[in-house]
Copies of this chain bind each other. A is one copy, B any other.
Amino acid sequence: MTQITEAKKGNITEEMKVVAKNEGIDEEKLRRYIAKGYVVIPKNINRDTKPVGIGKNLRTKVNANIGTSPDFVNIKLEVEKAKVAVKYGADTVMDLSTGGDLSKIRKAIMEAVNVPIGTVPIYEAAKIAKEKFGKVIDMNEDIIFKVIENQAKEGVDFMTLHCGVTKQSVDRLKKSKRVLGVVSRGGAFLTAYIIYHNEENPLYKNFDYLLEILKEYDITISLGDGLRPGAILDNTDRAQIEELLILGELVERCREFGVQAMVEGPGHVPINNIEANIRLQKSVCKNAPFYVLGPIVTDIALGYDHIAAAIGGALAGYYGADFLCYVTPAEHLRLPTIEDVKLGVIATKIAAQAADVAKGNRLALELEKEMAFARKNHDWEKQFNLAIDGEKARKMKEEIPSKDKKACSICGDFCALLLVEKFLR
């Protein structure tokens, strides 16, 4: 029993009711979208969380990645990052830990926050393989599927699984003249596995078995883009699209099987290719929810990649991406700090709101309207309440105050609004 199987039967679940209410859309319409696979509600049957809908006609959602690395392990800090991410509006959190006791970290995060939690199980498989055999490359099917089953039982709500990294797509990759080969960690593990062992990707080879596990717990599969380009120079190349075509085929198998599916996308995309990327995914993946990583629109924003990603994410959302993975200022440099997580979430929330406004989402427009009237009325309290980070806005305003309480210190008593309002009445 999954959301999609229920929806196909015509049943409106409790989760669907909550999502319909939060999004201000009709329950029956939502049910139809879920039945068709246009919307997913990632929620493991073993976990009690606030249901979040992702997909067609819903507000653009934001994910925050956190987690340890082999270089830096601090569980408390990761839990704090998860809390900060949710505080500033992340709709979901992915635990991408690769250092320390992964199960313990996962559980701590799942206890700390009440949003859907995602993972990339191949990371844990790689870690186990390295510890057991000394090398990631010695990963095997058993390790991979045991990890997936174990995480499923623990209550993970959605899993990124790079099922489209196959002999065929890796072949296309080898023929390409990409500058940066593979920049996805999961994609790299599987590409290396396929080439080294000359074997098919276990996740692809045993896709039906994988679907059985996911279905049992109603885990939403996030079909990972392991071959996404890692540079503007490489964007939208043949290897990326080959993988996307495979993911499109797998989406249909997920839907038939009764597993909720979304598809991941790039990455590094210049503004002029974002629309094509979104339209192509929506077409070949039959309107599956699209989960984009950024995209960042230039590679020279090192230290400010949250801004490069907000540009790409806003545009992607406008063209139809449903789910934006945040990028923090620390991207390409180091693990994010708590402040980085905060800035990453806020930048991505701005992008999501901008996309929703542009798409004409009623709730997003309502927020803009309230802000416009708060400004008209010089109601600063209301403005702070409506702002994504009202705390910071208030602090900033108070740092250099204006003598005129209605104005701010940019214009003081030359405030345009105050000057002209009496003449326009």
Contact = CB atoms under 8 A, between A and B. Distances in A.
A400 B335 contact: yes
Contacts of A107: none
Interface stretch (A199-207, A256-264, A384-392): A384-392
A3 interface: no
A335 B417 CA distance: 17
Contacts of A196: 423
Given A359-B272, A368-B298, A400-B334, A303 B393 contact: yes
Contact of A354 (B271, B367, B423): B271
Contacts of A181: 417, 420-421, 424
A180 interface: yes
B71 A401 contact: yes
Interface residues of A, number: 108
B71 A409 contact: yes
Given A410-B69, A414-B70, A423-B196, A304 B347 contact: yes
Contact of A357 (B71, B298, B386): B298
Contacts of A112: none
Nearest to A402: B71
Interface in A297-332: 297-304, 306-308, 310-311, 314-315, 318, 329-332
A423 B368 contact: no
B234 A192 contact: no
Interface string A59-89: 0000000000111100000000000000000
The 8 closest A-B pairs by CB, nearest first: A188-B416, A271-B358, A231-B372, A302-B387, A70-B412, A297-B354, A272-B358, A303-B393
Given A232-B357, A301-B387, A333-B396, 15 more contacts: A174-B424, A179-B372, A179-B376, A182-B424, A188-B419, A191-B423, A232-B368, A233-B369, A233-B372, A272-B359, A272-B360, A298-B357, A302-B387, A302-B393, A307-B350
21 contacts: A69-B410, A71-B400, A136-B414, A136-B419, A179-B375, A181-B417, A195-B423, A271-B355, A297-B357, A300-B350, A300-B368, A303-B387, A303-B393, A304-B389, A311-B351, A315-B315, A332-B408, A332-B410, A334-B399, A334-B400, A334-B408
